[in-house]
């Protein structure tokens, strides 16, 4: 599957439920049909990194988790739902650097993810959705496609409040998918900082809670965006690579 760009999604915000009853029945029917034809051991994990707030590291985490799984020999597709196409830009930069393509990146910035992503998942081990912060209807659609839905957040009250807004949406999505798993992911944590510890403790009592795995604030992650690499390919980035591996492993555990 080659990297692809699609026409940008309509930017009009949806203020009510995304789906008409007939549309929802079609989506549920397609999802159930997929479960009937794909053997249990081959069902893909579809994980979505979602947040209404920009700049929290959705694309960075999506690409690195995809890379960690690809390093295990798994076939991965990253679905870039942001009209800015940051994940696709990273993939194109990687191609310019003549680096090995680790996984496919597909641009799909539209609110039909709940229908199209299960089709993409038929022939891969995992699908990683890099969520948009611009369109509420697209975030809702991604939540109906994904399990788990993850909200990256930085350890500050402002980011926590913004992420909480995103994680109110699972209550709506669970009307149709009661088994939906949603979690916070603490990202860009300063090592041994008081605010990171306090944020982790607060989120442990939150519904939904945070994952145990955290990702630190490291210059290496910024360098990967510029060079089309992952931290596992950067010099002196062993600690960052271990954090990414721990995150990828925890996501697989909760998704199964």
3-state secondary structure 171-229: HHHCCCCCCCCEEEEECCECCCCHHHHHHHHHHHCCCCCECCCCCECCHHHHHHHHHCC
Residue 11 lies in a domain: no
**CA distances, 124 to each of 64, 69, 84, 136 (Å):** 17, 11, 25, 27
* Contact criterion met (CB below 8 Å) for 141 and 24: no
Q: For residue 221, what are the domain limits?
A: 21-255
The answer to the question of residue 13 being in a domain is no
Output 65 or 20, whichever has higher pLDDT.
Answer: 65
Q: Which of 38-47, 123-132, 163-172, 176-185 has the highest mean pLDDT?
A: 123-132
For residue 60, the domain's CATH number is 3.40.50.300
**Domains contained in the chain, number:** 1
* Mean pLDDT, all residues of the chain: 79
Is the model's pLDDT at 43 over the cut of 80? no
- Quick check: is 15 in a domain? no
Given this model, what pLDDT does residue 52 score? Answer: 82
Residue 139 lies in a domain: yes
Q: Is residue 3 part of a domain?
A: no
Residue 92 domain flag: yes
At residue 48, does pLDDT exceed 50?
Answer: yes
102-118: pLDDT as tens digits: 999 999 999 999 999 99
Average of per-residue pLDDT across 133-147: 86
The answer as to whether 40 is a domain residue is yes
Specify the higher pLDDT residue, 202 or 106: 106
Confidence of residue 167 (pLDDT cuts 50, 70, 90): low
């Amino acid at each position: 599957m080659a990297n692809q760009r699609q026409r940008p999604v309509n930017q009009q915000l949806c203020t009510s439920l995304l789906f008409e009853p007939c549309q929802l029945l079609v989506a549920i029917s397609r999802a159930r049909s997929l479960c009937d034809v794909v053997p249990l051991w081959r069902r893909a994990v579809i994980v979505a990194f979602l947040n209404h707030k920009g700049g929290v590291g959705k694309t960075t985490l999506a690409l690195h988790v995809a890379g960690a799984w690809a390093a295990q020999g798994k076939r991965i597709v990253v679905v870039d739902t942001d009209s800015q196409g940051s994940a696709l830009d990273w993939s194109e930069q990687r191609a310019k650097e003549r680096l090995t393509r680790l996984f496919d990146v597909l641009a799909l910035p539209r609110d039909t993810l709940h229908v199209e992503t299960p089709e993409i998942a038929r022939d891969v081990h995992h699908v990683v959705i890099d969520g948009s912060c611009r369109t509420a209807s697209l975030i809702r659609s991604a939540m109906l496609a994904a399990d788990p839905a993850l909200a990256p957040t930085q350890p500050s009250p402002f980011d926590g409040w913004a992420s909480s807004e995103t994680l109110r949406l699972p209550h709506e999505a669970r009307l149709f998918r009661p088994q939906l798993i949603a979690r916070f992911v603490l990202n860009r944590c300063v090592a041994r900082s008081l605010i990171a510890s306090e944020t982790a403790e607060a989120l442990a009592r939150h519904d939904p809670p945070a994952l145990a795995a955290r990702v630190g604030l490291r210059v290496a992650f910024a360098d990967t965006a510029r060079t089309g690499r992952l931290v596992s390919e950067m010099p002196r980035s062993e600690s960052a690579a271990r954090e990414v591996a721990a995150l990828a492993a925890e996501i697989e555990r909760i998704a199964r």
